[in-house]
Structure 1
């Protein structure tokens, strides 16, 4: 117990001694640690920014379907053209989904050539006919208003959700929702109610719009039958390929004469996760180079200043300081200094990365789920700063440990 107490006492005494030395040599410490502070701030910001950028890239990829997303098509071999929607196919899909206990499912149908009009403003839109589960399955949230619900099928006016392109083109602000607009191109002009708007954008100048299948069937199907219809399922990744195969066979048994095909269609099935890994590797390499430059600058300053402190170390040796004590004390000066510099660098990084205006200015599209500052990045910044202090303090500490009393006299 006494040995452990002596160890802790010696350690904290060395820390206190290192802090006192830093206070005495404030100007030297300040000049030598500016580079470390900048390097740690750059490293932490790069790591935190990379994590946020990875989340942004993941969100963009998952808007085409979260892993594992299985798409199912049912076609009549005697028909020509893309798969059509029918009550028989929908019923077979729902029955098979219940049998496999699949929680998230959605019909997906698209129709083009529609135009949204409001107060003299207009925009071409792509209409997507989907079930409410489509939102969480494709990481689409209503940034303003709300997303589609099953009860919207009973509304007296067709309920739709629009994307940011449509919202901006029609001059609608988030505070004006719900709002009424005219929808053209589906057999006539129909007034629809915009109940929500997402943060997503359409391709180019074209907007996007989402509507329930029941709503489309009631208001538009007679004049513009829905085509190019598929059925999507969001299932666990493990065993998803086998599930798709079994699902297709089971659903085809419910639809004699049809051809049913089920396949995974998400970014992991296409191998797009490699882009995320390459991005993280590039950012880590850049951050490592930044840190290396900062540590070399600190080592250079530490070696030069140690040659100027030979008399000081020699006097400490004359008063009985051991080689180990001198070595540990000098090295701890570097560790304490870089820890302080690392703390400042992490605070600078937090201020930059946590600034919403800066994030929106750097990223072309916003994050639907804005994360807090990554704790791993802060811990990495502090850990790296301490490690750099220990490594760059070894050489000056070795020089100090070899100083003899006679060397102090010669200086």
Structure 2
């Protein structure tokens, strides 16, 4: 116990001594640590920013369907082989989904573009006919108002949810929801009720509008028949391809004469997740370069200043400081200094990366689920700063350890 106590006392004493030396050489410390602070801030921000970018990319990819997303198509050969939705096909899909115990399902139909108008403003919008489960299946959130519910099928006014493009184009940013909008189809206009607005937006000029199948059938199908219909289901990723094949066989048995296909369509099925790994590798390479430049700058300043401290080290040796004590104290100066610089760098990185306004400006389209600052990035920043301090402190510490009393006299 006495041995451990002595080591602890010596370690604390070395830390205090290093801190006192840093206070004495404030200007030297400040100049040498500016580069370290910038390097750690850049490194931590790069790693944390990569997490944000990965989150945004993941959101964009999952809006096409979360893993594992399977789409089923029922083609009637008598209808030129186009995917159709009838009571018969919908009933067959529902029955097959229940047999396979699929919990999240939705019809997905698209209608030709319509024109939405509100108080003199207008925008072209793409209508998607979906069930309520479509939102969680495609990572869609109603940031204002709410998403579609089954009860909306009985509304006296058609209930719709719109995206950012429609909201911005019709000047609904500050309007209270629900709001009334005119939708033109086939020369006729129908007043619809906007019950929710999502955070998503199309990268083109078209907006998006979602409504229930019952709503479309009642209000719009007579003017513009629904086309390009498919059936979506969200299932576990394990054995998803096999499930798709078996699902198609079973649904085909429910629809004699129809051509039924089912295939997985989420981003993991076509290897887009590999791009996320490649992005992480690129960020790691950039972080390595940043770290290398910061450590070289610190090492250069430390070596130059150590040559100016030979007299100081010689005086300490004359008062009985051992080689090990001199080596450890000089190295700890670098470690303590870089630890402080690393802490400042991490705080600056947190301030930058955790700013939602800044993130939404940098990342086009924004981010729905703002993740907290990655703890791993903060720990990496602090760990790297301490490691850099230890590595860059070795050479100056070796120079100091070799200083003799006679060298100090000659200076």
* CA–CA distance in structure 2, aligned partners of residues 203 and 84 of structure 1: 28
Q: 1:67 is matched with which residue? A: 67
After alignment, is 39-48 or 180-189 more displaced?
Answer: 180-189
- Secondary structure in structure 1 of the residue aligned to 2:102: coil
After alignment, is 212-221 or 37-46 more displaced?
Answer: 212-221
Q: 2:342 is matched with which residue? A: 342
1:229-268 paired onto structure 2 within 5 Å: 229-268=229-268
Q: 1:44 is matched with which residue? A: 44
Q: 1:324 is matched with which residue? A: 324
Residue deviations 1:13-35 (CA, integer Å, cap 9, x gap): 11111111111111110111001
Residue deviations 1:29-65 (CA, integer Å, cap 9, x gap): 0111001001111111111111101111111111111
Residue deviations 1:177-230 (CA, integer Å, cap 9, x gap): 111111111573211100011111124211110001111122222333211110
Say yes or no: does 1:211 pair with 2:205. no
* CA–CA distance in structure 2, aligned partners of residues 223 and 45 of structure 1: 53
Residue deviations 1:290-335 (CA, integer Å, cap 9, x gap): 2211111110111111111112222222222222221111111000
Gaps of 5+ in 1: none
Given that 2:52 and 2:371 are in contact with CA atoms closer than 8 Å, whether structure 1 keeps it comes out as: yes
Q: 1:129 is matched with which residue? A: 129
Given that 2:75 and 2:81 are in contact with CA atoms closer than 8 Å, whether structure 1 keeps it comes out as: no
Say yes or no: does 1:11 pair with 2:11. yes
Say yes or no: does 1:190 pair with 2:190. yes
Given that 2:185 and 2:220 are in contact with CA atoms closer than 8 Å, whether structure 1 keeps it comes out as: no
* CA–CA distance in structure 2, aligned partners of residues 17 and 134 of structure 1: 64
Q: 2:114 is matched with which residue? A: 114
Residue deviations 1:220-241 (CA, integer Å, cap 9, x gap): 2233321111011111112111
Residue deviations 1:72-103 (CA, integer Å, cap 9, x gap): 11112232142110111111111111121111
* CA–CA distance in structure 1, aligned partners of residues 7 and 97 of structure 2: 66
Given that 1:72 and 1:232 are in contact with CA atoms closer than 8 Å, whether structure 2 keeps it comes out as: yes
- Secondary structure in structure 1 of the residue aligned to 2:295: helix
* CA–CA distance in structure 1, aligned partners of residues 59 and 175 of structure 2: 26
Given that 2:162 and 2:210 are in contact with CA atoms closer than 8 Å, whether structure 1 keeps it comes out as: yes
Q: 1:20 is matched with which residue? A: 20
- Secondary structure in structure 1 of the residue aligned to 2:387: helix
| TM norm structure 2 | 0.97
- Secondary structure in structure 2 of the residue aligned to 1:74: strand
1:235-314 paired onto structure 2 within 5 Å: 235-314=235-314
After alignment, is 309-318 or 28-37 more displaced?
Answer: 309-318
RMSD over equivalenced CA pairs, Å: 1.4
Given that 1:114 and 1:126 are in contact with CA atoms closer than 8 Å, whether structure 2 keeps it comes out as: yes
- Secondary structure in structure 1 of the residue aligned to 2:82: coil
Deviation of 1:120 (Å): 2.0
- Secondary structure in structure 2 of the residue aligned to 1:78: helix
Aligned length: 411
* CA–CA distance in structure 1, aligned partners of residues 173 and 315 of structure 2: 74
Given that 1:187 and 1:220 are in contact with CA atoms closer than 8 Å, whether structure 2 keeps it comes out as: no
* CA–CA distance in structure 2, aligned partners of residues 175 and 185 of structure 1: 24
Say yes or no: does 1:373 pair with 2:370. no
Q: 1:154 is matched with which residue? A: 154
* CA–CA distance in structure 1, aligned partners of residues 274 and 168 of structure 2: 34
| TM norm structure 1 | 0.97
* CA–CA distance in structure 1, aligned partners of residues 187 and 376 of structure 2: 55
Q: Runs of at least 4 residues of structure 1 off by over 4 A?
A: none
Say yes or no: does 1:101 pair with 2:116. no
